[in-house]
Structure 1
Amino acid sequence: MTTKSISANISKADREMVMQAIATIKEKLPFLVDLTTEERKALPKLGDKSRAFVSKALEVAAQNPDFLPRSFDLDEMRRDVELFEVLYPILLSLTQLQELVDDTFVAVGSEAYAAGLMVYNYAKASGKGAGLDAALDDMGRRFARKSSRKAQSQPS
């Protein structure tokens, strides 16, 4: 896999504008909920196959409301279906954007780490006695391995 080198920066003003755009999205969608993992698992999911089922159920309920119990709120079902349909393209766009940001974040982090490794290796090869010993020791802690013997001999 080859990735294109990323050479970019984000100005403070642009970063603030992006953060404001995210805040605006949250403001325009004040009904968003934050589900726990357990809540998410417990809910029935409405996926692509179920969308047609729900649409058909709404049609049946709208055309034949007499068989529904009085407690059934047809208008609420209609609002839920409409909101789902409106949120769907927003979700797709945000998911695509998140994937792009995430991939860019991983790629640029990888580039920074690779550059850091090069600096460390060059400094190790030619930096002895150049006043870099403390910096090399500090950087070398990243690669220090924890002894399994120490972990085993420590009382619990």
Structure 2
Amino acid sequence: MTANRISANISQTDREAVMQAITTIKAKLPFLIDLTTEERKSLPKLGDKSRAFVSKALEVAAQNPDFLPRSFDLDEMRRDVELFEALYPILLSITQLQELLDDTFVAVGSKAYAAGLLVYNYAKASGKGTGLDVALDDLGQRFARKTRKVQQS
């Protein structure tokens, strides 16, 4: 048996407060967009290695705007870089929270499933004839195998 790493509950009030906080975050970031898988794949990625490149390119452009075509919007580039840098620590924090939520969700789900299996096995072993037959049949449906129909030629 694994160690009991979590034994907790969340009140309805706290759950609603968390959901409200998420709503607030979304409201404070109204410019967030939803990319399709194809769009996401097609875009060049700005990662840690490219951040210094972009910062230097912005500095070069700001100090030498004469070589840029008139259609190049230096202010828009500056806004994009500033927004990227402002979102970066938020993304790191949300990613860490997502990982904690995922790990907790998996662990508590696993514990609940293991407990359910114990109940089912105990009921199978000593619950026959005690009015649990219907409940055992319902629980047993989780493990029922689907039969394949044999095709006749």
TM-score band (shorter)? over 0.9
8 Å CA contact 1:3, 1:107 repeated in 2 = no
The corresponding residue for 1:94 is 94
- Post-superposition Cα deviations, 1:112-133, rounded to whole Å, max 9, x if no partner, equal 0000000000000000011111
Higher relative contact order (CA 8 A, sep 6+): 1
| Partner Cα separation in structure 1 for residue 94 and residue 27 of structure 2 | 15
The equivalent residue for 2:63 is: 63
Who is 1:79 aligned against?
A: 79
Residue 111 of structure 1 aligns with an amino acid whose one-letter code is K
Deviations 1:40-77 (A, max 9, x none): 00100000110011001001100110111111000000
- Give the conservation status (yes or no) of the 8 Å contact 1:61–1:68: yes
Where does 1:45-56 land on structure 2 (aligned, <5 Å)? Answer: 45-56=45-56
Is it true that 1:24 corresponds to 2:30 in the alignment?
no
Structure 1, unaligned runs of 5 or more: none
Pair 47,3 (structure 1): closer, same or farther in 2 beyond 3 Å: farther
Q: How big is each residue's C-alpha offset from its partner over 1:11-66, in whole Å with a ceiling of 9 and x where there is no partner?
A: 00000000000000000000000111111001000001100110010011001101
Alpha-carbon spacing, 1:88–1:136, altered in 2? closer, same or farther (3 Å): same
Cα distance per residue 1:56-104 (max 9 Å; x no partner): 1001100110111111000000000000000000000000000000100
- Structure 1's consecutive aligned runs of 4 or more residues displaced over 6 angstroms after TM superposition are none
Q: Counterpart of 1:153?
A: 151
SS at 2:57's partner residue? helix
Q: Find the aligned partners of 1:5 and 1:66 in 2 and give their Cα distance.
A: 61
**CA distance, structure 1, for counterparts of residue 8 and residue 70 of structure 2:** 60
TM-score, scaled relative to structure 2: 0.95
Q: Between the two proteins, what is the percent identity of the paired residues? A: 85
- Kept after mapping to 2: 8 A contact 1:123/1:132: yes
* Conserved? CA contact 1:58–1:78, under 8 Å: yes
Aligned residue type for 1:53? F
Asked if structure 2 preserves the Cα contact closer than 8 Å seen for 1:120 and 1:139, the reply is yes
User: What TM-score comes out, normalization by structure 1 length?
Assistant: 0.93
Give 2:151's aligned amino acid. Answer: S
Question: 1: distance between equivalents of 2:62 and 2:26?
Answer: 32
Letter in 2 for 1:97: L
